[in-house]
Structure 1
């Protein structure tokens, strides 16, 4: 059976009393479209079953009467339709005769509203405009089930001059100049339109190529480059699409300019010039700038972790400030999935989110839905006041992340100094100590510094303001002078010198008590490295044994990403694999005796079977303790010792090679939980790490780790565990 549709008068109904002939109606005809002035109604003849080829004749009806000349599949709503009911009479004919059916109709309001103009939707930029991250992904059903409706995309022929609009197909032509299968913000944008009942035609024009910079490729003065191509495409589109188009451009670009100091510094000026040329040569419609994410790409990707972020921060600010100055442009935030920050090309969830935000900006609902990107007033923040500070000492506050900002905010201070740290890059310094005004960007921490009073039991106050939101920090000197061990003074001074906060008051007393206990203990000379969860990330990376060595968070080439520190859980693996901290110890050199050991202090045990101690793939040193009650250890060994049925609990878990043939596992209280025969091998490994170089990472919380030149006895392990636990308790939240 073949179907055909023709325009023409309806076939006459069978004579009265004659047997019914013609096709059988399976599903009735329908009419779709908007009841607005100038809108187009579309008739679907329905589904019929009959003999041979079935043909259709259509007749549009107004209040049950034929509309003169209206015999095609489309009807444009006009003034004569106001206040009437418009439907379509479909007559189906086959070898046996004809049969007719009338569709459900559309009621046209008496006062006709004008139809919304068709939309010219331009998408431009570099790889995250096209969007490269979904080039091999399966598109959502909402983009392939036909609900995107009357949507078209400009596809080139031999060039732009003979380009033509084709029905938008997310599986075939959504990225017409590249792979053809990557869809950008336009898909979610149109989907949101249709969900809101906006069924106007949409004509899409795209110009986006991976790695193209604003400084060079998008320079409006360059002949034949990206800007000129966009200009030519839009001009061609206007000759093909209906007149009176509404226009919006989605701009996603800037990562490439962050690769270079000069192009990053010139970005604001270049974007200003780009807008001026755009307004003169391409469109006066709304421009939605999709602000790039913070750049924190892992080694091996395009942008260096710290420098890339710092350059990107200036570009991010320009992408808010320049559109504001334009007056007919706005910006949207793409930071809504922080897990994507290490990756240059995020996937489908991020792509849909940015399209939804672009649509919200176009409809004027962005601020109410997602928050204003122009907001420079942060959420409330606070610094922990310090007491019992030595007279005249330099006090350093805790580092506090400033949240709630939409964009860069001004900073002012009186009574002290401030600096900003990059929370996405191990708290590396962005703005160093200054008493002057400045600014702070999103994903930054603020830290304060001041010199304590020269008088005992006297407080000084530092006042700071971020975006007009003020806070104060108090530093009070001790009532009486207190003396501390040399190790305590050396450690606290080293922590501040490395950029950490001051350790004062009860916490400094606890640190001093630890050194008192250690000095009297037989286990202290056996400890090579000891890292504990202390005041902040800096002091937690400082070796308690010699007060000079710093563990290296993520610094080894064996790791993709640093670990993340918090006061509650210590060190946890960052998103993704291969996350760890080098313990600054070479087993092949440092372990000179068969007996030696390693301990990890757990805040929480792991649910995943991944290492908490690793030697970078040499496979001589490995330790994991799981919440399921199983443990695996290797200590100068080529084979695993697997232990089941241990009582899972947070605290210290240590593996001690007691001789060339034996390994012992010590639990949180230091007692031996199991002993296994295991022959020594090596060591040849050149370093130890807290973390894992494996594809799977531990989800444990690690308060720290210890390395022992010589194995501890059972009694020593118990005393060591109790002493370290007391120190951790003093620095707990």
Structure 2
């Protein structure tokens, strides 16, 4: 006889025993307890009502020679409970709702109890769970201004749900804004902001919305969101180491009431409030108002009020750049590098400026423009090698112009250095030249500025700071064609913003020769739109056109004009709208000659 899961043993037509696979059958006249109940003959599942499971019996075990009269079941470690031998489903109730427990069963006959089955795990039917309900809606806190961060609570809920959040701009979901906080961005400006909370448990889903806040205000934006460090380096005019022409430091206008203008104290290695005159210079003392201080005063309104402006004062009167103490490796250079390194370690994110007023000590016949440019470039590169100073922008101030353009012009070599200063922004990145005005030198001392001259320099430097980056990246627009004033003199109109340089190109009139370049600058500070006159180089009648140049490149050329060779015999001509004036005659018998609408005026 082959056994499957079970087999029935019959005597004639009467069944006398069921035998399950694995049973040991002893043919004896004495009956035994029932056999074990295999897994396939029973099961247990979660019931329909709280506290219930359903026991399912699908087949009887081996009877042991005595009919099975019932079953026992045991839940967990509890007591055995008897049920009858009817096959099918039985509801077991009174259990702990939601509990996960084990169930075992055993068969019983007249002889006794069979072995317990292997345990089966079942989850008791739980009590019904109500969906969540909001006891309190989410609440947003914070300042509704761009750049600020809002936070929100999840609200209060019944039913121990899991809560998710979604920030809304108006009625639209803000992508990615699903956390307990949200930093307000530019896109949020003008909008109402709210949060939708979604609560989920086994019983369902519920939502609750916060009250909206707003409309979101646009935060005040500042040109400078970081600290600013200004290095004051150069000679006595950068240090204001002079009597300022009898104009002392003003107790109100030359001081800072905000406490945001600071001085780097090399002794303590900290920033301290800057009070003029500043102390701690490498040599000599400050007497007049400092141009870097005025620059800092003018930058305050353009800087985030939570930030500082720190002046690192390293200028020394009488110091020289080329071959001197200000050069790379020089005594004062070494001091300056040490101070800047310490300051920028304390302010690593600062915007850095160099204020440079120098040149008098280099104005001699042994210093060429090339020498000066090389020394200045090396110095700037050395400073920019300091951690935090790579983006330093250089402001190059003009020396007192009376000495080379005014009534007391006595040092022609200063023009060499002045031109070198003006050329530097064309070759040194992130640099700009700031001109000075006549009449701001100390009477009797043509090398030093008055107090107002220093204030002017600081104000002009602050005003022109945006132009540094502009001309670093921007090629100037095509300038207006120059106007011919007389013979070889042309007048250039300065555009706004004023480009770092103008380029005159000239060649013989009527020819196709290559253009010859002449780089020119205003001698002094000019408030655009202003003009300045230049004599075109070369001889003979020349075709002239004009370009503008910055570090970024050179503009296209203007339309051309023609300038003339000076007239023979010392005669000169100037051209007005309807007149031509010729000067230089020994005698004039007819003061003017009229040709149609034009009049020629003759002067001796």
TM-score range, shorter chain: 0.3 to 0.5
| TM-score (norm: length of structure 2) | 0.47
Question: Could you say which structure has the higher helix fraction?
Answer: 1
- Calculate the TM-score normalised by the size of structure 1: 0.40
